[in-house]
Amino acid sequence: MWDPTAYLRYGDERSRPFHDLLARVDADHPRRVVDLGCGPGTLTAVLAARWPDSRVVGLDSSPEMIARATALDVPVSFQVADVRDWRPDPDNDVVLSNAVLQWVPGHRDLLVRWATELPAGAWLAVQVPGNFDAPSHRALREVAGHPPWRAALTPLLREAPVADPADYAESLVAVGCTVDAWETTYVHLLAAGPDSAHPVLTWLEGTALRPVRAALDAAGWSAFRAALAVRLSEAYPVRHGQVYFPFRRIFLVARTGSAQENS
């Protein structure tokens, strides 16, 4: 289950890649704009503000996230839906998905399908985290591999669920898109208080640790969390009241149809 409140912690850090992605989408008057995996809707509202004359739709498979989004009272139609079932409409000129597709196995095939079904000249913009080999995720896998947790958690641990930017680019160029792909490592400076949990642990609780928490009972979760906190404190030591948390992200902006059609 997604917890909108936990996810919205570190909102500034989490929203920055969305803005960097959106800056590369050069659509003037898109008819329909869809945010796939819109979460709590705060960033979908940014799309509605950028294109006030467009029909803006936000989809998410989490009822908790859609409930939070609907409460925003912004000109967006929010719906509970799974991105795997979504099909583009003929007037879908912009599709954006920020920090979602890492949860969707086989999403490279989905991207190709969307690119072939979208109208010519549409924009498909995607950002996924590329940090699955980072110390934070290595620590998570190591602790989860220990005997008290191994049986419950091994089936949940995913090896690199995302591709490199060039691989995404190649898939979409192959179906006639013009592609802009890149990666960025942000260094987030997270405040660490003497009485609060390690900030990387708090960060992970909003995302990668959700399935772990759901798989353990209260005592198991408490012990797992304490063991992971020790590893994270070693990997990301507190310096001058904060930790330096490098976070790699992968970006892809594709425009459907040939470059000639779009010029």
Q: Which residues bind ligand SAM (CB under 6 A)?
A: 2, 7, 18, 37-39, 43, 60-62, 65, 82-84, 98-100, 103-104, 207
Distances (CA, A) of 38 to 104, 117, 147, 261: 14, 21, 37, 30
CB environment 132-165: b (16+ within 10 A), e (fewer): bebbbbebbeebbeeeebeeebeeeeeeeebbeb
Determine the residue with CB nearest ligand SAM: 39
Nearer to ligand SAM, 76 or 149 (CB): 76
If the CB atoms of residues 128 and 144 are measured against ligand SAM, the closer one turns out to be 128
Of 210, 227, 211, nearest to 219 (Cα)? 227
Q: How far is the CB of 203 from ligand SAM (least distance, A)?
A: 11
Q: Least CB distance from residue 127 to ligand SAM, whole Å? A: 8
Rank residues 39 and 88 by Cβ distance to ligand SAM and give the closer one. 39
Which residue from 162, 12, 56, 34 is spatially nearest to 99, judged by alpha carbons?
162
**Nearer to ligand SAM among residue 83 and residue 228 (C-beta):** 83
Q: With contact defined as beta carbons under 8 Å apart, do 195 and 17 qualify? A: no
Question: Least distance in Å: CB of 42 to ligand SAM?
Answer: 7
Nearer to ligand SAM, 7 or 123 (CB): 7
Query: Which string of DSSP letters, residue by residue, matches 153-220?
Result: HGGG--S--S--HHHHHHHHHTTT-EEEEEEEEEEEEEE--TTS--HHHHHHHTTTTHHHHHHS-HHH
Q: How far is the CB of 21 from ligand SAM (least distance, A)?
A: 9
Cβ neighbors of 41 (< 8 A, separation 6 or more) are: 58, 65, 66, 68, 69, 70, 72, 74, 76, 78
Instruction: Choose between 149 and 168: whose C-beta lies nearer to ligand SAM.
Output: 168
- Residue 178 or 201 with smaller CB distance to ligand SAM: 201
Closest distance between ligand SAM and the C-beta of residue 1, in Å? 9
Shortest Cβ distance from residue 91 to ligand SAM (Å)? 21
